[in-house]
Structure 1
Amino acid sequence: MNFILIFQLLVSSFYAREKLPVGQIITPQGEILISLDPRTPQHRDSFIELANAGYWDSLTFNRVIPNFVAQGGCPDTPAGFTDPEYLLEPEFNTELKHVYGAVGAGRDDNPGKLSARCQFYIVQNPQGIPRLDGDYTIFGHVIKGMELVDQIVAVKRDARDEPETPITLDINIIYLSAEEIAALKGAQ
């Protein structure tokens, strides 16, 4: 019986030390950390791939709207996104909602509800945006830095909701334990 207890403790200790990928967005305002949800693996893996490739490091938060979202990545083009390399099938999960701090992807005027993988947004509305549920894929949640997102959407912007002073992105993947992620979620 002691052997089983020792084995269970060793296994739980191993998993407690396992590190999970977390999105790190460094802006002039500071650091934002995003837990990446395993229930949307295509979107999570795409975010990790593009972050590790340095894809966003020359881009900005290009659309910021108070009580709505802060959107980053490549800006929309008049032709839209047609390159299949930059499109992802939707991964809707009824447990993942557009609540304050949710991180998602998707495109407007898009019958297939595909996501442009080069874009992402962070829900800044404190009441959330339930009308987006089922139309845009949620793949993460801010666990640190929502006060920075609030600052970002409050900057002066032009008629297209683009910040007058660019808010640059430096996006990386860091690894934290489940306990570290839970502690950050609790502090948020």
Structure 2
Amino acid sequence: MTPIYTFLFSILSFFTAQTDPPVKVEMVTNFGTIVLQLSDETPLHRDNFIKLVEDGVYDSLLFHRVIEHFMIQGGDTQSKHADTLSNLGSSDLPYTIPAEITPDLFHKKGALGAARTGNPERASSSTQLYIVQGKVQNDSLLAHNEGRINKMLARHYGMNDPANKPLIDSLEAARTEKDTVLSKELNGRLNSILDSYWNFDKYQIPAPHRQVYQTIGGTPHLDQNYTVFGEVISGLEVVDAIAAVETDSQDRPRSEVRILRMRIL
């Protein structure tokens, strides 16, 4: 192969590699089939999810938390054989995924997100996921939810501000020593600081996102605080059907909603 052809082949190979289609995953549930498309903007979450699907981790797990007009959540690794009295929602594999919160991925209806604890790094659960149902938003709801977004962002940036670390460390020490009086005092001081924290760029819901929220709906108050790593491209009616099931006081469906199997398409 001549040098010029070698060069042209390299260029063609590069652009071909860059235009690989997004990964699609088929999720078969006892309510029907949902097809998910994973985002290349969140490679850590994408690759983790692909591995879990290929390893069969999700097969036979439950959607253990369902809230109509909000989201459906599954992926608790203990849910496969859980009885009706089991307390679900705290089990996954023993690692977390660093947050991949990007400006373009938001909580529109059908968004695929990663559940997490309230950790300061906003790191995601290894296995627990949610699919947004949400609801259509008007201007008043969007303004309210924008405020909720910034309140969560204030707590995030405040918790990670080095100036607040001595207080946070003292609070953790008091909790470790089970000093409830001191813990309550320090926690009150910390919450007061976080509630009024201002040293960050306030978030405004972009106009294109607002338009989506005002037409198909979603749950905007989670934006910029949880990682969205894909979306439903087929089967939104299945999400709606699952979201409508009767649940108990812990938001667990009274009748099983189970992921039967997943596979990469």
Whether TM-score is above 0.5 comes out as yes
* Partner residue, 1:186: none
Query: Could you tell me how far 1:111 is from its partner in structure 2?
Result: 1.7
Following the alignment from structure 1 to structure 2, what is the Cα–Cα distance between the partners of residues 172 and 152?
17
1:159/1:43 CA distance change after superposition, 3 Å? same
Give the aligned residue type for 1:65. I
- TM-score normalized with structure 2 length: 0.56
RMSD over aligned Cα atoms:
2.7
Report how many residues are paired.
Answer: 164
List 4+ stretches of structure 1 deviating above 4 A.
17-20
Following the alignment from structure 1 to structure 2, what is the Cα–Cα distance between the partners of residues 18 and 94?
22
Following the alignment from structure 2 to structure 1, what is the Cα–Cα distance between the partners of residues 263 and 59?
12
SS of the aligned residue for 2:229 comes to strand
Contact 1:106–1:113 (CA under 8 A) maintained in structure 2: no
Consecutive unaligned residues in structure 1, runs of 5 or more:
1-6, 176-188
* Partner residue, 2:189: none
Give the aligned residue type for 1:146. L
Determine whether 1:122 maps to 2:124: no
Query: Could you tell me how far 1:174 is from its partner in structure 2?
Result: 2.7
Following the alignment from structure 1 to structure 2, what is the Cα–Cα distance between the partners of residues 117 and 24?
19
Determine whether 1:107 maps to 2:95: no
Determine whether 1:149 maps to 2:239: yes
Contact 1:157–1:164 (CA under 8 A) maintained in structure 2: yes
* Partner residue, 2:38: 36
- TM-score normalized with structure 1 length: 0.78
* Partner residue, 2:89: 76
The percentage of aligned residue pairs carrying the same residue is 40
Structure showing the higher helix proportion among its residues: 2
Following the alignment from structure 2 to structure 1, what is the Cα–Cα distance between the partners of residues 22 and 121?
31
Consecutive unaligned residues in structure 2, runs of 5 or more:
1-8, 77-87, 136-216
SS of the aligned residue for 1:113 comes to coil
Structure showing the higher strand proportion among its residues: 1
Contact 1:21–1:173 (CA under 8 A) maintained in structure 2: no
> 1:48 is matched with which residue: 47, 50, 64?
50
Give the aligned residue type for 1:137. T
Contact 1:23–1:171 (CA under 8 A) maintained in structure 2: no
